[in-house]
């Protein structure tokens, strides 16, 4: 029987969401604007990340962009032109941005399911941060990445500094933030910003295949693996060892582990549902 697709109402045509074979495919849908963030798209993206992160019937999130871009970040042309907006103090603006960051990339990083970004084209600024906040990035040959902030005399947001430092190291992160160079897909792969590069025509198929495999895998084990990897960013070795021991013992007592062992012995694929 063919996989059933369920369309989710995101509240706007600027963001599409379809659930297929336990994968939530979230598509930024402003191709004419290179999928730049907007007052309609961004709140919808926040809602869909939270909704699908919490949904037990969703095993993985796949975020991509319509057309020839992933996400070009904020709308630069509209910056500083919103004269109709009520006056806000600096502290109010800071608090607003903090809330927006925490409810977007903050929530995306906290999702305890595999998250995949499929990049058909440019990922820039906050769009780059969204891609880097995912667990795995698969890029088309024609994809590019750029921080972009310094080009418009800005400093970075949505966790870009933290994410770049952990993925590429502090020396590369400084280079990427200062110079704002356009990096092609192969260069991004060499720097560790992209996990794999595929042809443009194969991108969506390849990314969905990875997402589907993970979505139908051992979800409880993946969540604990993610906990271990997150802890490894900040903890010392012995602390990591202790936490690995606890999670390993707990995982060994799950029905998913028992099914995986049975499937291995019986030379079949495990069924975790």
Condensed to tens digits (0 to 9), the pLDDT of residues 39-66 reads 999 999 999 999 999 999 999 999 999 9
Work out the average pLDDT over 135-147. Answer: 98
Q: Report the run of H or E that residue 196 belongs to, with start and end.
A: strand 196-198
pLDDT in tens, 24-42: 999 999 999 999 999 999 9
List C-alpha distances in Å: 1 to 4, 7, 21.
9, 18, 12
3 state DSSP class of 208: helix
Strand partners, 79: none
DSSP of 9-60:
--SSTTEEEEEETTEEEEEE--GGGTT---TTHHHHHHHHHHHHHH-TT--E
Work out the average pLDDT over 98-126. Answer: 98
Work out the average pLDDT over 216-233. Answer: 97
pLDDT at 85 over 80: no
Residues in contact with 14: Cβ distance below 8 Å, sequence separation at least 6, in sequence order = 28, 29, 30, 38, 40, 41, 44
pLDDT at 80 over 70: no
Cβ–Cβ < 8 Å for 47, 8: no
pTM of the model: 0.95
Compute the distance between CA of residue 108 and CA of residue 106 in angstroms, rounded to an integer.
Answer: 6
pLDDT at res. 1: 39
Kindly report the average pLDDT of the chain as a whole number. 95
**Per-residue DSSP letter, 181:** -
C-alpha of 19 from chain center: 16
pLDDT at res. 273: 81
Structure tokens of 14?
A: 């600027």
Work out the average pLDDT over 79-99. Answer: 81
3 state DSSP class of 190: helix
Structure tokens of 96?
A: 């607003």
pLDDT at 236 over 90: yes
**What residue segments make up the domains of the chain, in order of their start?**
5-215, 219-265
pLDDT at res. 75: 77
pLDDT at 180 over 50: yes
Asked if CATH classification 3.90.226.10 holds for the domain at 5-215, the reply, yes or no, is yes
- Closest by Cα among 156, 131, 146 to 70: 131
Strand partners, 188: none
**Per-residue DSSP letter, 69:** E
């Amino acid at each position: 029987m063919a996989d059933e697709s369920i369309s989710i109402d995101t509240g706007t045509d600027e963001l599409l969401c379809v659930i297929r074979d336990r994968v939530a495919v979230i598509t930024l849908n402003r191709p004419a604007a290179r999928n730049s963030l907007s007052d309609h798209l961004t709140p919808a993206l926040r809602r869909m990340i939270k909704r699908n992160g919490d949904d037990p019937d969703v095993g993985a999130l796949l975020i991509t962009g319509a057309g020839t871009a992933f996400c070009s970040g904020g709308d630069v042309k509209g910056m500083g032109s919103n004269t109709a907006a009520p006056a806000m103090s600096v502290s109010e603006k800071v608090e607003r941005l903090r809330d927006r960051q925490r409810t977007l990339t903050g929530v995306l990083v906290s999702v305890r399911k595999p998250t995949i970004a499929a990049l058909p084209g440019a990922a820039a600024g906050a769009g780059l941060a969204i891609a880097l906040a995912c667990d795995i990035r698969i890029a088309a040959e024609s994809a590019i990445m750029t921080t972009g902030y310094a080009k418009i005399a800005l400093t970075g947001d949505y966790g870009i500094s933290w994410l770049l430092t952990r993925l590429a190291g502090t020396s590369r992160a400084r280079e990427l933030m200062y110079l704002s160079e356009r990096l092609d897909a192969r260069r991004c792969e060499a720097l560790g910003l992209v996990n794999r590069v595929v042809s443009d025509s194969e991108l969506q198929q390849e990314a969905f295949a990875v997402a589907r495999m993970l979505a139908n895998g051992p979800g409880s084990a993946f969540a604990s693996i993610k906990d271990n990897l997150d802890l490894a960013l900040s903890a010392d070795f012995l602390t990591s060892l202790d936490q690995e021991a606890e999670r390993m013992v707990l995982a060994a007592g799950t029905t998913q582990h028992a099914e995986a062992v049975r499937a291995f012995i019986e030379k079949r694929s495990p069924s975790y549902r």
